[in-house]
Copies of this chain bind each other. A is one copy, B any other.
Amino acid sequence: MLTRQTPPHPLPAQPPVELPETVGYRFKNRILGRPLDTDQLAHQRLGIPTALAVFASDNLSSVAYATEEILRVLIPVVGFFAFSLVVPITVAMLIVLFFLILSYRETIKEYPTAGGAYVVTRDNFGLLPAQVAGVSLLTDYVLTVAVSVAAGTDALTSAVPSLHSAHVAIALGFIALIAFGNLKGVKESGRIFAIPTYFFISVMGLMLLSGFIKILTGTHLPHAPLKPGHIKIGTKGATDAMFYGATWFVVAHAFASGGAAVTGVEAISNGVTAFKKPEWRNARTTLMIMGTTLGAMFFGLSALSTKVHPIPYEKGTPTVLAQVGRAVFGHGASGDVLFYMLQAGTMLILVLAANTSFADFPRLASFQAGDNFLPKQLTKRGHRLVFSNGILALAASAAALVLATGAKVDRLIPLYAVGVFTSFTMSQSGMARHHLRLREPGWRKGLIINSTGAVLSLVVDIIILITKFTHGAWLVVMIVPVMVALLVRLNRQYEAESQELEENAKTAAEAPILKRHVVLVLIDDLDQSAARAIQYARTLVPDELKAVHIAVDPLHAAELADEWRRLGLSRLPLVIVDAPDRRVARAVLELVAEEGADGQTEITVLIPRRMYKRSWHKLLHDRTAEQIARAVGQLPHANVTFVPFHLGEKLALHSHEGEGLRP
């Protein structure tokens, strides 16, 4: 056995090398900005006006398509009678919204830290039902992105029709832009968000106000002009239609389409911690303001549509909102300016709505991954402290949906809202259970509110499911259970692994070492890299040390053996293993398996690894070292060590020669 001693002829000391950053990392810094440290993770506290801007865009932006989707269902069946039905249906949906807001006021108070449907369901029903809520929400976040960018593109092409031919590319561009901004870690900076939100609210308000003033003052509001490409207008009359039971189905279907309007109502309950103190009270106020604003705009637009008679178009543009806006603002120069402002505001708030999902999806995914129900990688914060993997997963899924549907809002809507109302139902039932369990002061009132919310959500969910089943909701119905099953399978794997890993870990950490330690040095040529490996091998003070040459070319092996003898290296035995099938990794694997067959031998395989200076130098050599490492790793107690030898660093070596040596 070798013992350690102060070396008489040491290898030249290697200088402390500089540690350059990799190209990839420097690129990342250039593109995304400097890295953020974990302790920079802090939320700014938001006042009510900024909070409204930050959290409300998803909800408020629904105005851009909710009325249109109601009309799109009604008009082909009941024709112009649709304009008599649209306001009652809108009001019905607003009643649902009212109860949802009441319910979420309870949630905000009871779960002031993280009140999303996932956490509420998990706390009250357990992990498995929470996965249903989680998957439903994740699905809907993907759909929110897809619907919002599609509708945002429609708002743009309603104003600039010549862009319509590129509308899928534009929608994808929006997704890329938002994803990039989120990877960069756009802070939930109220100011940036406030501009589009309040701009949209203002210009919508202006439009609704002008419209109603014109109606009240008896000024004529022109019907929207009809051009080729609008949807078919049904011919069934008013009373006529009501006699047929089938038409009630159409009304329910239209109501289900309107359900898209109340999505996003849960956003505030997810972010209560971001509010200024007292958080829950401020959050509640913001929720009320949001609800009222949405209600006013949704009702206003539906009401105006009864005068303007906008007919949706097959290709989705000009939108109903654009048609109403044009009719209200008129065609003069000032009308043009206001119209373009309306379209710009609509586009901006829709893009902002998509952005909201980019905050929610990665956060929810990281919760689920933290509970071992999604891949662990989703819990990892990236360069700029955001959950980069979640952002990329969301962007990819939404882009796939946009491509699959050709960025058409009316093809996406049937998939939408099923998930939202499922999660509403679960979260409200969870709240009801919460009240029953804890019976805190005022629990009876809370129980009534949340039970009503739960029942109402369930009813709407069933209506959506039934009326939209054949239009695409079936897909969601299939995907959610499959996803949940996958997540459960994944969870079981994680749990099994961690159980196995932790079992006896404590005693194992103190386990004595094995009886024998064999070190095998793989030698290809007797060169500097091999010399380094031999030097290192002796550092390990093994019980047995062998140099091993896998002979692919018998001639070369004979030469090596000769050289070995000639140099008097016989203190270190050279074992030559024939590999007639030229499978070096396999030969090493078999040799190691043999050495370790007794189960009491620790084997270290040393692989000299030449470190090349440039990547093209590396391309000139094969990857046998990696193959060997992969093969040998299959065996227990077989440890693979890469012993580096750095090529092309001779200069640095010479100039510092002898440095750092003690005499």
A residues sitting closer than 8 Å to B (CB atoms) are: 2, 4-11, 13-17, 19, 35-39, 375-377, 380-381, 490, 493-494, 496-498, 500-515, 517, 525-532, 534-536, 538-541, 543, 552-554, 567, 569, 580-583, 589-590, 593, 596-600, 602, 604, 609-611, 617, 619-622, 629, 633-650, 656, 659-662
In whole angstroms, what is the CA distance A504 to B513 when docked?
37
The residue in A19, A505, A636, A641 that gathers the most chain B C-beta atoms within 10 A of its C-beta is: A636
Q: How many identical subunits does the complex contain?
A: 2
Contacts of A8 in B (CB 8 A): 512
Per DSSP, are chain A's interface residues mostly helix, strand or loop, or mixed? loop
Query: Contacts A377-B622, A639-B536 known; A514 to B7 CB distance under 8 Å?
Result: yes
Contacts of A599 in B (CB 8 A): 13-16, 656, 659-661
Between-chain CB contacts (< 8 Å), 17 pairs: A9-B507, A11-B511, A17-B636, A19-B590, A19-B593, A38-B554, A498-B527, A502-B527, A503-B528, A508-B528, A509-B531, A515-B662, A517-B540, A598-B660, A636-B646, A637-B644, A640-B642
Query: Contacts A7-B513, A10-B512, A17-B634 known; A604 to B641 CB distance under 8 Å?
Result: yes
Contacts of A527 in B (CB 8 A): 498, 501-502, 505
Question: Would B16 and A509 count as touching, CB distance under 8 A?
Answer: no
A641 nearest in chain B by CB position: B641
Contacts of A609 in B (CB 8 A): 633
Contact of A580 among B38, B506, B536, B650 (CB under 8 A): B38
Contacts of A493 in B (CB 8 A): 617, 620
Contacts of A629 in B (CB 8 A): 642
In whole angstroms, what is the CA distance A528 to B641 when docked?
20
Contact of A376 among B16, B552, B621 (CB under 8 A): B621
Contacts of A14 in B (CB 8 A): 596, 599, 636-637
In whole angstroms, what is the CA distance A342 to B501 when docked?
72
Query: Contacts A376-B620, A589-B19 known; A508 to B531 CB distance under 8 Å?
Result: yes
A5 nearest in chain B by CB position: B512
In whole angstroms, what is the CA distance A597 to B17 when docked?
8
User: How close is A369's CB to chain B, nearest CB, in angstroms?
Assistant: 10
Question: Would B635 and A644 count as touching, CB distance under 8 A?
Answer: yes
A614 nearest in chain B by CB position: B493
Question: Would A500 and B650 count as touching, CB distance under 8 A?
Answer: yes
Query: Contacts A19-B634, A38-B580, A552-B38 known; A526 to B514 CB distance under 8 Å?
Result: no
A650 nearest in chain B by CB position: B500
User: How close is A623's CB to chain B, nearest CB, in angstroms?
Assistant: 10
Query: Contacts A508-B535, A528-B508, A598-B13 known; A515 to B582 CB distance under 8 Å?
Result: no
Contacts of A36 in B (CB 8 A): 581
In whole angstroms, what is the CA distance A535 to B337 when docked?
76
Query: Contacts A501-B647, A509-B567, A640-B642 known; A10 to B514 CB distance under 8 Å?
Result: yes
Contact of A505 among B10, B531, B589 (CB under 8 A): B531
A609 nearest in chain B by CB position: B633
Contact of A529 among B501, B538, B610 (CB under 8 A): B501
The residue in A375, A604, A642 that gathers the most chain B C-beta atoms within 10 A of its C-beta is: A642
User: How close is A405's CB to chain B, nearest CB, in angstroms?
Assistant: 29
A602 nearest in chain B by CB position: B539
Contacts of A515 in B (CB 8 A): 4, 6-7, 10, 662
Question: Would A535 and B513 count as touching, CB distance under 8 A?
Answer: yes
User: How close is A33's CB to chain B, nearest CB, in angstroms?
Assistant: 13
In whole angstroms, what is the CA distance A11 to B637 when docked?
11
Contacts of A543 in B (CB 8 A): 4
In whole angstroms, what is the CA distance A661 to B599 when docked?
8
Contact of A541 among B509, B541, B647, B656 (CB under 8 A): B541
User: How close is A517's CB to chain B, nearest CB, in angstroms?
Assistant: 5
Contacts of A380 in B (CB 8 A): 582, 622
Contacts of A622 in B (CB 8 A): 376-377, 380
Question: Would A600 and B661 count as touching, CB distance under 8 A?
Answer: yes
User: How close is A237's CB to chain B, nearest CB, in angstroms?
Assistant: 58
A10-B512, A38-B581 given; name 17 further pairs at CB < 8 Å: A2-B513, A4-B515, A9-B507, A380-B582, A493-B620, A498-B527, A501-B610, A501-B645, A501-B647, A504-B528, A508-B531, A509-B530, A514-B539, A540-B541, A541-B541, A636-B646, A636-B649
User: How close is A392's CB to chain B, nearest CB, in angstroms?
Assistant: 14
Question: Would B511 and A7 count as touching, CB distance under 8 A?
Answer: yes
Question: Would A512 and B582 count as touching, CB distance under 8 A?
Answer: no
